[in-house]
Structure 1
Amino acid sequence: GQSSLQSPENVQVHVVNTNFTLSWDYSGTDPNVTFSAEFQWVGFPAGASAGHGMLPFYLFWKGKTIPSGAGFLTEFPVTLYSPRLFLGKILFDTQIGPPGLELQSTNGVIKVKVSPPEANQRKKMWIDDLSFKYNLVFWESSSPAQVRSKIIFPVDTIDDLAPDSTYCFKVQANIPLDAKQGLFSPVSCVKTTQKVPDLLCATNLSVLALNMKFQLLWDNQGDQEVNYNVQYLYGFQKKLKDGYSDKWRSVPSCENITSTCCNFSSIITTTGFYYLRVQASEGRNKSCFSSEIRVEPLRTNGIGPPGVRLDLSDTLLHILISPPGGVKDEIMRDNYDLSYRILYWKNSSDQEEEVRQKEVKQTIATVPDVSPSTLYCVKVQAFSEIYNKSSAYSQQECIHTPAGTRLPLLIFGIFTGALLVVLLVATPLVFLLYQAYSKIKYVFFPSCQPPLNIEGFGSQPLSSPCLSAPEEPVENCCVIESMITEEGNEIDFTDYKHSKESSRDSGNYSNDNNSSGSKGSKETLEKEIV
């Protein structure tokens, strides 16, 4: 019979860019054994179809769709089978392939051009080329132990190299956000040349920046009359794989100038970074570009000293601070998160006074309990902890406190005045409130209560049977008869009428008596007259 074959061991999958490689160990001794690999996607990417097939030694990934969550897919689950044994699932990690590298030696420097992995390929594992950072490693061939490395752009220049020397280079593409490091490119070597000095070129470029005001300075090597053109480049444009030679722009007001300085504040913003260079020209035919200088606005900029003003109130010394660049400079205030270090002391000629310090975030500080008739001096420094920057100290400002006053007497006077004000305001108010209270109490809560038999009078009409009905109103009339006596005198009964009215009984039963009495009196009077 035929003996059974041993299964492959130590099966591994290696992925570089879009190339999948399957490897295994086999401990059998039969030289006529052949191998085939079968694969099946388990948890395959969205948009791809599951499948299986027989593969040769090299496993190629054929046009599967890559999900673009973070731009990259770094792990695939794969199930492997041997002809007779299920080997299980293997997770494999993708590797970044080596980038391309081109070198050019010119005028003592090496120009480097790096092409990204999978350049010019239709199907890519790594979609975003701008996410790569390139690590260049180089050394002099005669001293391989002295290895140097530098993070470079796709198109860059390596200077500070010894002339007429051979240098070797290799480069790798990394993705810092995913902590992935790629494979190095093959080693390439090139020989440097002698640098030919050009007296026309601007040298020693430097940037002087204070409170977001930027100046570019350079040196002129010769005495000839040279025109300069200052150019700038946005930092992100250096990441373009096709180069940036046509991306340079001229700084306004710094074109065809003869001075060796340029104010380029107009092009600066707080985001990103810039590169600047100076083009020198003599006549129409000869031109030379200086080396480039990198400018990161918020890091390159320097913080100027703040402004200081002093004021006094009672026993307090107020320190008023103006931010560097002025109160209206929002860039300095908003981007640096400034704090202030204050130094203050008594400036006395009699004795050496200790300098005291305090730090504040606000632009107003207070020193309490200052001594009278004393000269106080202050200076302030602005600093930013975020950028680890600090300004120079401001100019020294001094103020003389007034002569002292008798504090207890002053306090007593203030207390007395406040008490008088309170009394003048409170006394009329209390009187008015008391009067209002008395009126309300008199109306709603009288001290004299009505008798019980008429309590509740007015709430309902009286209907007691013991009381007589009210008398109807009667008009009182009196007939006065005028009689003429013999003597012709008229008798006036006015007094009689008055007497009659005054003697009337007010009772309900006095009407008849009154009328009868009046009648008898009248008859008696008539008899007397007769």
Structure 2
Amino acid sequence: MSPEQPAEPRQCAGARAEIGPPGLQLQSTNGIVKVKVSPPEANQRKKMWINDLSFKYNLVFWENSSHAQLQNKIIFPVDTIDDLAPNSTYCFKVQANLPMEGKKGLFSPISCVQTTQKAKDLLCPTNLSVVALNMKFQLLWDAQEQQGVTYNVQYLLGYLKKLNDDYSDKWLNVPTCENITSTWCNFSSIITTTAFYYLRVQARQGHNRSCLSRDVEVDPLKTNGIGPPGVRLDLSDTLLHIIISPPGGAEDELMRDNYDLSYRILYWKNSSDKEEEVKQKEVKQTIATVSGVSPSSLYCVKVQAFSKPYNKSSAFSQQECMHTPADTSSSLFIFGIFMAALLVVVVVAVALVFVLYHAYNKIKYVFFPSCQPPLNIEGFGAQLFSSPYLSAAEEPVESCCVIESMITEEGNQIDFTDYKHSKQSSRDSGNYSNDDNTSGSKGSKETLEKEIV
């Protein structure tokens, strides 16, 4: 075994593997202490813990005085400790842990360092803060000195701080925020949802003077806020349709794909005479339907977007209201009843007119016939022509005959030819004849002929 390499610890079978102490280096400058940690087994050729990046480092430090209080901080392999009392001695020790495996390592030996006075530079930006809504990111800061100062906003990919190397030369300028005079910067152009970032601001005045602010961490999906969704209402029959626009607009895929958004809908009937109960509905899709809305009523809706995985929610959207139309089904029903009643009235009226018309014709035919037979017309048999509904009294007809005789000087011969002609003429002068009279006439003729003979 060479003296340059430390001996590798042997472990017996069944022995519990322990995480050895990490290395620790301290540097005090301008009121802050820069800490550099090397992982356990850094100088060993064979390692029990292969992945150094899986370690989490717990730094414990305290002021070396009688009233010292221990402070703990989870740090990166290269990190800084500020807000320390100037011109004081602070002591540090660090341990490497594996939280996923529930293992804690041994602490490093204690190292102490003297802090320095921090120079107050009015050029440095202060109070850095990040405001983000719907994946639109802005960095804000306060400027202590205004005249002739320009700013460069710089960012660092977060994974670089997890490495054991010095990252001080890995900072990059945000392209849209170089040499600006404003105290804000829109850095949305550099953001992706697969990484996290650190940002800081460098202030410059002239060519020889500059100062760097503290950095601020930005984890996009955690830092970002969810804005209120858009809402539009539509109606069909007794259904109220709620059309939701996702936060950031329908084209904002980052919001829609990364947050697994749901929507909380509040809706109520807005009545002036009484206060209606506010109802709630939660949906995943961007279209929701409320059934059974009342006609001729005002309904109002507002919607909130929320993400359960990130425990984030937006403000409620602006209140949207819509009047429901009058009940067309009841109007059609009333119109149908009216038309049916009108049809019944028309049918009854037509039937009544038809009945009255026929009754009128019957009455007119019975009481006011259009023509009557003359009284001097002989009847057929013993019955006169009469109405089928009213029997008329028979008119007595006097049976008579006319005997015409002609006696000439040559003889007592009577000309019955003229008589027959006269008799025939008398019978043909009416519409009907009397058989009794005819028979009577025949008898009289025979009697007369006998007398003459």
TM over 0.5: yes
Contact 2:8 2:44 (8 Å CA) reproduced: no
Higher relative contact order at CA 8 Å, sep ≥6: structure 1 or structure 2?
A: 2
More strand by proportion, 1 or 2?
1
Q: Which residue of 2 aligns with 1:291?
A: 214
- Among 262, 265, 269, which residue is 1:346 paired with? 269
Q: Which residue of 2 aligns with 1:383?
A: 306
Counterpart mapping for 1:297-308 below 5 A: 297-308=220-231
SS of the residue 2:100 aligns to? helix
After superposition, what is the alpha-carbon deviation per residue over 1:89-132, rounded to whole angstroms, capped at 9, x for unaligned? x4112222211111122222211111122223333333322222
- Among 212, 217, 223, which residue is 2:146 paired with? 223
Counterpart CA distance in 2 for 1:97 and 1:411 is: 91
Give the deviation of 1:293 after TM superposition: 0.1
Give the deviation of 1:299 after TM superposition: 0.4
Give the deviation of 1:408 after TM superposition: 9.1
Counterpart CA distance in 1 for 2:23 and 2:137 is: 38
Contact 2:262 2:307 (8 Å CA) reproduced: yes
Counterpart CA distance in 2 for 1:314 and 1:168 is: 76
After superposition, what is the alpha-carbon deviation per residue over 1:480-508, rounded to whole angstroms, capped at 9, x for unaligned? xxxxxxxxxxxxxxxxxxxxxxxxxxxxx
The aligned amino acid for 1:383 is: F
The aligned amino acid for 1:197 is: K
1:174 matched to 2:163: no
What TM-score, normalized to structure 1? 0.60
Give the deviation of 1:348 after TM superposition: 2.0
1:152 matched to 2:141: no
Give the deviation of 1:349 after TM superposition: 1.9
Contact 2:153 2:200 (8 Å CA) reproduced: yes
SS of the residue 2:70 aligns to? strand
The aligned amino acid for 1:178 is: E
Counterpart CA distance in 1 for 2:213 and 2:320 is: 45
Give the deviation of 1:410 after TM superposition: 5.0
Contact 2:93 2:110 (8 Å CA) reproduced: yes
Q: Which residue of 2 aligns with 1:19?
A: 8
After superposition, what is the alpha-carbon deviation per residue over 1:160-203, rounded to whole angstroms, capped at 9, x for unaligned? 22233322110011223333221110111223222211111111
Contact 1:347 1:375 (8 Å CA) reproduced: yes
The aligned amino acid for 2:136 is: K
The aligned amino acid for 1:198 is: D
State which structure, 1 or 2, has the greater radius of gyration over its C-alpha atoms.
Answer: 2
- Among 90, 95, 118, which residue is 2:41 paired with? 118
SS of the residue 1:95 aligns to? coil
After superposition, what is the alpha-carbon deviation per residue over 1:245-265, rounded to whole angstroms, capped at 9, x for unaligned? 111111111111111111111
Counterpart CA distance in 2 for 1:111 and 1:411 is: 87
Counterpart mapping for 1:255-404 below 5 A: 255-404=178-327
After superposition, what is the alpha-carbon deviation per residue over 1:313-341, rounded to whole angstroms, capped at 9, x for unaligned? 11111111010011121111111111111
After superposition, what is the alpha-carbon deviation per residue over 1:39-75, rounded to whole angstroms, capped at 9, x for unaligned? xxxxxxxxxxxxxxxxxxxxxxxxxxxxxxxxxxxxx
Contact 1:342 1:357 (8 Å CA) reproduced: yes
SS of the residue 1:351 aligns to? coil
Counterpart CA distance in 1 for 2:151 and 2:324 is: 57
Contact 1:18 1:124 (8 Å CA) reproduced: no
Contact 2:148 2:206 (8 Å CA) reproduced: no
Give the deviation of 1:412 after TM superposition: 11
SS of the residue 2:222 aligns to? helix
Q: Which residue of 2 aligns with 1:208?
A: 131
Distance 1:143 1:293, change over 3 A: farther
Counterpart CA distance in 1 for 2:82 and 2:32 is: 5
Contact 1:281 1:288 (8 Å CA) reproduced: yes
Q: Which residue of 1 aligns with 2:413?
A: none
1:405 matched to 2:328: yes
What TM-score, normalized to structure 2? 0.70
User: 5+ residue gaps in structure 2?
Assistant: 1-5, 337-453
SS of the residue 2:9 aligns to? strand
Distance 1:175 1:310, change over 3 A: same
Counterpart mapping for 1:437-476 below 5 A: none
Give the deviation of 1:407 after TM superposition: 3.7
Give the deviation of 1:18 after TM superposition: 6.4
SS of the residue 1:91 aligns to? coil
Distance 1:236 1:410, change over 3 A: farther
The aligned amino acid for 2:319 is: Q
Q: Percent sequence identity over matched residues? A: 76
Counterpart CA distance in 1 for 2:40 and 2:269 is: 69
Counterpart CA distance in 2 for 1:18 and 1:321 is: 67
Q: Which residue of 1 aligns with 2:369?
A: none
Q: Which residue of 2 aligns with 1:236?
A: 159
SS of the residue 1:359 aligns to? strand
SS of the residue 2:17 aligns to? strand
The aligned amino acid for 1:172 is: Q
SS of the residue 2:328 aligns to? coil
Counterpart CA distance in 1 for 2:167 and 2:112 is: 25
Contact 2:269 2:276 (8 Å CA) reproduced: yes
The aligned amino acid for 1:127 is: I
Contact 2:296 2:325 (8 Å CA) reproduced: yes
Counterpart CA distance in 2 for 1:188 and 1:234 is: 30
